[in-house]
Amino acid sequence: MPTLRAMWSPLGQQVMIRTPGQPTKHDGIGAVNYHTGETVVLFRRRKRRREIAQLLQALLDKHDNQTVYVAWDNGNTHEDDEVEAIVPSAAGRLVLLYLPTYRPWLNPIEMLWRHFRREVTHCELFHTLKLLLQASQRFFDLYNLAPSAVRSIIGPLPA
């Protein structure tokens, strides 16, 4: 489903953006390393507790033998037995830090999601879900090749 945004058009001509009747939805679930700019992003049919647990496991797998600190909001998918079960199984390598409620600007991945939507989905209709997922994965693959660009999007490290 395209994200519809205000855009310029010639005077007296309205730009037409095609939209599907019933969109098929997939969610992006991701994390960004504030220090390096590297991302871990999963695309799933839903964004439930199981998928959040998969993201946490992917972060642990990516950073083998390192402590992983995850700063995230107080979303209802972040508080569950399935998610909480990952913490003890990580043997002290996973630390969950909860951000204050309604403060998305404190979470660096939110800035990256905003940039992602602007670059990939704004005013674009993908004819198949496969094409949308390919474009989405390509976006994150390209930015993982240039993590300094991600750091410029998410902003400087907090003092």
* Each residue's pLDDT expressed in tens, for the chain with a length of 159 residues: 566 667 777 888 877 766 666 667 788 899 999 888 999 999 998 888 888 889 999 999 999 889 999 988 877 666 767 777 888 888 889 998 888 878 888 888 889 999 999 999 887 778 888 999 999 999 999 999 999 999 999 987 665
Cβ–Cβ under 8 Å, residues 65 and 74: no
Query: pTM, whole model, 2 decimals?
Result: 0.78
Q: Can you tell me the distance from the alpha carbon of 129 to that of 139, in angstroms, rounded to the nearest whole number?
A: 15
Tokens at residue 14, please? Answer: 């309205």
Strands 68-72 and 94-98, sheet pairing: parallel
Length of the chain: 159
91: left (phi over 0), alpha (psi -120 to 50) or beta: left
Q: Where are the domains of the chain?
A: 27-154
CATH of domain 27-154: 3.30.420.10
Handedness of CA 114, 141, 66, 148 (dihedral sign): negative
Residue with the two structure tokens 């993201």 = 55
